[in-house]
Structure 1
Amino acid sequence: MKKILILGLLLCTVNFAKAQEKIEWLKFEEAVAATEANPKMLLVDVYTDWCGWCKKMDKETFTDPAVIQYINERFYAVKMNAEDTKRTFDFKGKEYSEAQMAATMRVRSYPNFVIIDPTLKNITQLPGYRQPAEFLDGLGQIIENGFGAK
């Protein structure tokens, strides 16, 4: 019996660790639906395929365990290609491509991280490449300053 209990706890620990191996990226419309059911802020990573700093964020910052845990716990994370004019979705009764939504959010440099409050009304930006500690600090300051508070 003791062995079964220990094995069960070990499996739970392994499953939790695996769940935190990567950021749970969603499509924009999936994140909007999720926040309507369970309010959280959205973190939208606006990138382009040619952006070297975007790739560096993916490789170095978004693989950091502390960043993964922080984002997965506090945000619905979204990847949005600022040049994708083909994939469309509805938001607040209008149809947008990813490129149109990036323009609507006034993103003009990459990478850029758009934070949207749980009411889906207020946004702020955290532009530019950041190493893990710097990125967490920037997100923490946004939350600390009351952005996204209900």
Structure 2
Amino acid sequence: MKKIYLIAVFCIGIVSAQAQKEELTWHTDVKEAIAIGNKENKPLLMFFTGSDWCTWCMRLQKEVLTTPEFTKWAKEKVILVEIDDPTRTPQAQEIRQEYNQIRGVLGIVGYPTVYFVRGEKKDEKFNLQPLGKTGYVPGGPVAWLEVANGILSQK
């Protein structure tokens, strides 16, 4: 009986821990993200990454973008968009073309780049209004969020 009780407590603990872990939604459809951002009156955080080859991108993910501090901040402040440029992972041609166009419009030349933008739909076209950009910032989530908040406070 004692074993059953311990197993039950252990299982409940695992389920509770899973439920408490907040998940973020990273959009890959820019038009959808713009619509959500406009509805919620939030800017987009566009993360330009080379997910399967860029060491600094992976470091930014690990040190900042997957932390509880970032998760809490992002849920309140921004709509997340991932613009990926993988080398080993297949990507649909339409997506690659759309992402290349966005990178060109914003002048993205290196990774990781995090751009804060407002999106608007005008005459069936979507326009991006840049607010500011950053990349990897040493010092973990506190240092990175300080830079991000500085950009967003200028809007």
Common fold, TM-score beyond 0.5?
Answer: yes
Greater helix percent: which structure? 2
Residue 81 of structure 1 aligns with which residue? 84
1:134 partnered with 2:143: yes
Residue 93 of structure 1 aligns with which residue? none
Kept in 1: contact 2:43–2:78 (CA 8 A): yes
The Cα shift of 1:113 comes to 0.2
For 2:26 and 2:61, locate their aligned partners in 1 and report how far apart those are by CA, in whole Å. 12
Q: Which amino acid aligns with 1:55?
A: M
* Number of equivalent positions: 126
Kept in 1: contact 2:37–2:78 (CA 8 A): no
Residue 33 of structure 2 aligns with which residue? 31
Indicate the SS of the match to 2:152.
helix
For 1:56 and 1:15, locate their aligned partners in 2 and report how far apart those are by CA, in whole Å. 24
Indicate the SS of the match to 1:100.
helix
Q: TM-score, normalised by structure 2?
A: 0.69
Specify whether residues 101 and 15 from structure 1 end up closer, same or farther in structure 2 by C-alpha distance, changes over 3 A only.
same
Q: TM-score, normalised by structure 1?
A: 0.71
Q: Which amino acid aligns with 1:56?
A: R
Residue 41 of structure 1 aligns with which residue? 43
- 1:71 corresponds, among 61, 71, 74, to 74
Moved more, 123-132 or 107-116: 123-132
For 2:79 and 2:63, locate their aligned partners in 1 and report how far apart those are by CA, in whole Å. 20
For 1:16 and 1:136, locate their aligned partners in 2 and report how far apart those are by CA, in whole Å. 25
Larger Rg: 2
For 2:116 and 2:147, locate their aligned partners in 1 and report how far apart those are by CA, in whole Å. 11
Q: Which amino acid aligns with 1:126?
A: T
CA RMSD between the two structures: 2.6
Structure 1 runs not aligned, ≥5 long = 1-12, 90-95
Kept in 2: contact 1:44–1:78 (CA 8 A): yes
Kept in 2: contact 1:43–1:114 (CA 8 A): yes
State the percentage of identical aligned residues. 21
Q: Which amino acid aligns with 2:143?
A: E
